[in-house]
Amino acid sequence: MTIMTKKPYTSENYFEFAMSSHQQLAYRILIAAPTDAPPADGYTVIYVLDGDALFPTLAEAVKLQTRKPKGYDPILVIGIGYPSKEPFDMERRCHDFTLPVSEEHLPPRPDGTPWPPNGKANEFLDFIEYELMPTVEKEWPINKKKQAIVGHSLGGLFTLYALCASPHLFSHVVVGSPSVWWANNAVLKEIDRFAEAWNSQYTIHLLLTIGANELSDMLEGADQAAEQMKRLSGKNIHTTYVKFDEEDHVSVLPSMLGRIPRFLYF
């Protein structure tokens, strides 16, 4: 008779560390480090929001798609999560991922409870640029010209906003099922302001995705955002818009995440 000895499953190149921001907010940083040596110009990096939920799937997709001899160059994956370890920490993501909004412009929450503190997207973006990215760069050789950010739902709202607010930060931006509805579609106004000021000084690749079976307001918001961004196609903003058939707001995640390694190299 075989006696089963159970051990926790871990990957040899996965790590995590705790980090506190200048705003005294705690984060759980998850890392999938490449086992291959870096290219001459350093590792491509992906920063993924909601790391507790999205990091494992993305890290495994990267591992499979960067296998030699035919795989892409090695990629460093950084997940940004929270000490709660909940797949989606609603209080923290509302705080970190959303644009400022007055109380009267907040829709009712589905469960009827008040919205958590919100509207701190700029502070969170500063944390990524001035605290997290320098910390990562001290540990690994990074290709600063090839860095990506990935977000879904409220995270997709944030990554779309980050493109507009700090276009110098990321060469590749992944916007999954974005919550465009937040603050009366405020992010669409941010895109308009960005488009007016944009002078093509950087090349940015945008992957915007959504499940074809998502709610109508989500589909409408994604359609509008994609349409506005595609108007910049002649100005070094290259937008790819993908609707995944038969997928809803959550089931779309593996399809979106599996597309990312290929997106970085086309």
The Cα 233–Cα 62 span in angstroms is 27
The Cα 174–Cα 172 span in angstroms is 7
Q: Tokens 């999954």 — which residue?
A: 176
Residue among 153, 171, 177, 179 flagged as catalytic: 153
The Cα 55–Cα 78 span in angstroms is 8
Q: Provide the Cα torsion 89, 95, 101, 102; round to 10°.
A: 90
b/e 51-81 (16+ beta carbons within 10 angstroms → b): bbbbbbebbbbbbebbeeeebbbbbbbbbbb
Catalytic residue check, 249: yes
44: nearest Cα among 56, 54, 36:
36
The Cα 157–Cα 148 span in angstroms is 15
The Cα 54–Cα 86 span in angstroms is 11
Question: Helices 154-165 & 182-197, crossing angle to 10 degrees?
Answer: 20
8 A C-beta contact, residue 49 and residue 157: no
Cβ atoms within 10 Å, residue 136: 18
SS3 214: coil
Catalytic residue check, 214: yes
Catalytic residue check, 153: yes
Which are the catalytic amino acids? 153, 214, 249
